[in-house]
Amino acid sequence: MDWLELFNMQQKLDNYIQENHQLKSEELFDRKILALLVEVGELANETKCFKFWSTKPASPQSVILEEYVDGLHFILSIGLDKQYDHLPSKWVEKTKDLTNLFNIVFEKIIAFKHDQSKESYKELIYTYIGLGNALGFSEDNVKDAYYEKNKVNFERQDSGY
């Protein structure tokens, strides 16, 4: 995957949002961390992987992919804020135990909040990539969905979202 391209697209969106909302000088790190936690929770909710009490099936893959990409937007944005935007191209194979992976992703987000090092960021993004892989998404699925959601996010900004 061409991560540099995704980081560049995210930078344009971040700049656009910051200009539209006069946020250039405002510290957004804690808000982005909370937003990422919320998005990962929404993603977990759509998979229903932890809902042992429910017989309802997971949402359609298209819905799950859109939620996954929402989280990716915040991970890229946080990386840009910390100037961690040149990661090696890597698509990670991880376990298929979704509940465990979601718990690890939450742990990595909180760990990065407390240790904002490049190594901690790499652990977060690679764990998130592993989650995407476990959800059955290919690099092309994620890239295409990211492009589409990025376009929607710009449109939302233009319509006063």
Can you give the CATH number for the domain in which 111 is found?
A: 1.10.4010.10
Single pTM value for the model: 0.90
- Write phi, then psi, for 123 (nearest 5 degrees): -60, -40
Provide the domain limits for residue 101: 3-158
Distant-in-sequence, close-in-space partners of 72: CB < 8 Å, separation ≥ 6: 6, 128, 132, 142, 146
Q: How many domains does the chain have?
A: 1
> Cα-Cα-Cα-Cα dihedral of 142, 71, 75, 119, to 10°?
-90
How would you classify residue 91: left for phi > 0, otherwise alpha for psi between -120 and 50, otherwise beta? beta
Q: What is the pLDDT of residue 25?
A: 54
| Residue indicated by tokens 């982005």 | 32
SS3 71: helix
Q: What is the pLDDT of residue 24?
A: 66
Residue 54, both tokens: 């429910």
Interhelix angle 98-114/29-47, nearest 10 degrees: 180
Average pLDDT for residues 134-139, to the nearest whole number? 92
Question: Residue 120 and residue 86: Cα distance in Å, rounded?
Answer: 14
Scored b (16 or more CB within 10 A) or e, 132-149 reads bbbbebeeebbbebbeeb
Q: What is the pLDDT of residue 34?
A: 98
Query: Which of the listed ranges 17-26, 31-40, 127-136, 147-156 does the model predict with the highest average pLDDT?
Result: 31-40
pLDDT digits (tens, 9 = 90+) for 77-123: 999 999 997 675 555 555 678 999 999 999 999 999 999 999 999 99
| Residue indicated by tokens 């200009």 | 19
pLDDT digits (tens, 9 = 90+) for 32-82: 999 999 999 999 999 999 999 999 999 999 999 999 999 999 999 999 999
